[in-house]
Structure formats: structure tokens, C-alpha cells
């Protein structure tokens, strides 16, 4: 089956290694649950290192309404240490296999390494979520070979240095141009344009003001013609605006996620799945109230 299908409505559905992800505007935006199998992620590092703990967390997020579980084996927080490919594989592959066997959910692999992309998809992952937008040597080819949808994210620099005085003349246009260029590179590498998603990279090499500009102008990224994914959950910008520690940022994260939906995001990446799913459902019900009233009358 192709990785992209078009419904009779003309909107696209992504085929993710045998599972379908409906991102049409007629449906509420989808929630991607974050599952970090790392010792050092900023919010949940070390909590889900064992495959059993990771599976329990995945099952909980599926129960709460996650459409996708995003498994990551290397922290991308500012100043994070790099890990070897083998170490990353040892962390993520058993978890992906366990989720595939026990949950009916799309699994995304959060990685920039070509070898991890290939092995993760073999193990059952149906999407690649790459903070480096397939810029690592061999990543374009690996993604092309897997045939699964790919999310391209913008990041200035790399995780260890990205928050050292990030500067832009116009952050929205810079990020948009970067994503356009990466889309073109993917197409040149044989990756179908129809399986690409874009993520402006909230918090990745941006100041608070840059992040706010990205959210406010999110429709610019929707104009690229690809589903927009946004990860704002518990980010430091929310903490700085509110004076809250990472585990006190739920309300701020929910408001930011809802605004992202309003401005065009189709996938929200979140730690707090149940609350985010609730917020997205309310957003969708309000914005589609006229449609619902019309249906009730017929």
C-alpha cells in the first residue's frame, strides 16, 4: 500500500507501516505521545528506561487517546550528550517491538541516525521524526528506503549548542525557507512529497520571542502543503513565561497546544496525553460547531 492515500474528501491520510493516520481537517488534530527511553531527557529522563516501564507508559498513553507514540533513545535537550548508534538501538528496538506486539498504535522513531531509522521501521515503527530533517549522511537514503512518513524539523545548530545566542533576521521566513529546501532535498532523494510532515522546531535554537513568533505565524508553515507537527509540551519557554518548573507547566502547555491547533497544527506532540486530547477535542468541537449543527438538522 502506498504511504499516502487520498480520501474521497480530497484530504490525505498517511499510511504508517500498515496503520492509517487520518490528518484531514474534518477530524480533530492528533496527539503524539512522547516516550523517551533515555536517562537524561529534560522532563522524564530515566523514567522509562526498562522495556516494561516503557510499554506500561505507551499503553497508558494509547488509553488516553494518543494516535502516535514517539519513541526516542537520544535526548535532544540543550547540552545533551550524544549517544552511539548501538546504544540508541539497544534502547529503542526492544521498546518498539514490545509496543508493536501489545498496542494498536502508530509508532514513530525519534532519531537522526540512518541505521536506527532502518532498524526501527523493521521492528514496527511507522514514522520517522527527525530533529535534523534528514541532514545526517545517509539519512535521506535510509528514509527513502523505509517508505514511511517523515517529519522534518528545523533546528539551529545541534542540541549541544543550539541555545547559545540564537539569532534570526526573520525567524518565520528563515525556518520556512529551510523546510522548503529540505522538502526539495527529500523529493530529489525519491521520497514522495505526500509522506512529508513539517515541524518548525519550537525550542530548538530559538529564544522565547522566536518561539512565540513561530506559533503566532504557524499558518505560514501550513502553507507549505504538509501537515504541521508541533511539540510545545513542558518546554523551557513556557517555564520562563510562567516561572514554572518542568512538572508545573501543564496549563501553559495545554494553552500553547490549543493555539497551535488554531493556527494550523495537525499533530501535537505531548507528555500529558489525556489533558492534551481533551483540549484538542474541545478545540475541534468549537471550531466545527456549525458543521455539527448542520448534521443534526439533516
Pairing verdict, β 30-36 and 265-270: parallel
Residue 2, pLDDT score: 46
Residue 159: predicted pLDDT: 66
CB count in 10 Å sphere of residue 297 = 6
Q: What's the whole-model pTM score?
A: 0.91
Q: Is 164 a catalytic residue?
A: no
C-alpha cell at 174: 528563515
Sheet strands (E) in 106-188? 106-110, 127-130, 150-153
Q: What are phi and psi of 23, to 5 degrees?
A: -110, 20
Q: Which of 176, 206, 235, 249 is catalytic?
A: 235
Q: Which are the contacts of 189, defined by CB distance < 8 A and separation ≥ 6?
A: 134, 140, 141, 143, 144
pLDDT mean values, one per 10 residues, the chain (298 residues): 44 90 93 88 54 92 98 83 91 96 97 98 98 97 98 84 79 97 98 96 95 97 96 96 96 98 97 98 94 60
Domains of the chain (ranges; CATH) run 4-292 (3.20.20.20)
The whole-number pLDDT of residue 210 equals: 96
Q: For residue 131, what is the DSSP state? A: T
269 is catalytic: yes
- Annotated active-site residue in 30, 234, 266, 269: 269
Give the pLDDT of residue 8.
Answer: 36
Which residues touch 216 (CB under 8 Å, ≥6 apart)?
A: 263
Confidence at residue 80, expressed as pLDDT on a 0 to 100 scale: 74
**The sheet that has 4-6: what strands, in order across it?**
4-6, 12-16, 19-22
Amino acid at each position: 500500500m502506498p504511504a499516502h492515500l487520498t480520501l474521497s474528501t480530497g484530504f490525505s491520510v498517511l499510511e504508517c507501516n500498515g496503520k492509517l493516520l487520518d490528518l484531514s481537517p474534518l477530524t480533530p488534530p492528533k496527539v503524539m505521545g512522547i516516550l523517551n527511553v533515555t536517562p537524561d531527557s529534560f522532563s522524564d529522563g530515566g523514567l522509562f528506561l526498562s522495556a516494561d516501564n516503557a510499554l506500561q507508559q505507551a499503553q497508558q498513553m494509547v488509553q488516553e487517546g494518543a494516535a502516535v507514540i514517539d519513541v526516542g533513545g537520544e535526548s535532544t535537550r540543550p547540552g545533551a550528550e550524544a549517544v552511539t548508534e548501538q546504544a540508541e538501538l539497544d534502547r529503542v528496538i526492544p521498546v518498539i517491538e514490545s509496543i508493536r506486539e501489545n498496542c494498536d498504535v502508530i509508532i514513530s522513531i525519534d532519531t537522526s541516525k540512518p541505521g536506527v531509522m532502518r532498524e526501527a521501521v523493521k521492528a514496527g515503527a511507522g514514522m520517522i521524526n527527525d530533529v535534523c530533517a534528514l541532514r545526517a549522511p545517509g539519512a535521506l537514503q535510509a528514509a527513502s528506503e523505509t517508505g514511511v512518513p517523515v517529519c522534518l524539523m528545523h533546528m539551529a545548530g545541534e542540541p549541544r549548542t543550539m541555545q547559545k545566542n540564537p539569532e534570526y533576521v526573520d525567524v518565520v521566513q528563515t525556518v520556512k525557507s529551510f523546510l522548503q529546501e529540505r522538502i526539495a532535498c527529500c523529493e530529489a532523494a525519491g521520497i514522495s512529497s505526500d509522506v512529508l510532515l513539517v515541524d518548525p522546531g519550537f525550542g530548538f535554537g530559538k529564544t522565547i520571542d522566536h518561539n512565540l513568533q513561530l506559533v503566532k505565524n504557524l499558518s505560514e508553515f501550513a502553507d507549505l502543503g504538509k501537515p504541521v507537527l508541533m511539540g510545545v509540551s513542558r518546554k523551557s519557554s513556557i517555564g520562563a513565561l510562567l516561572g514554572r518548573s518542568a512538572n508545573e507547566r501543564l496549563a501553559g502547555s495545554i494553552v500553547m497546544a490549543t493555539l497551535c491547533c488554531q493556527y494550523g497544527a495537525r499533530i501535537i506532540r505531548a507528555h500529558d496525553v489525556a489533558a492534551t486530547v481533551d483540549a484538542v477535542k474541545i478545540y475541534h468541537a468549537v471550531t466545527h460547531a456549525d458543521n455539527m449543527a448542520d448534521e443534526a438538522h439533516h
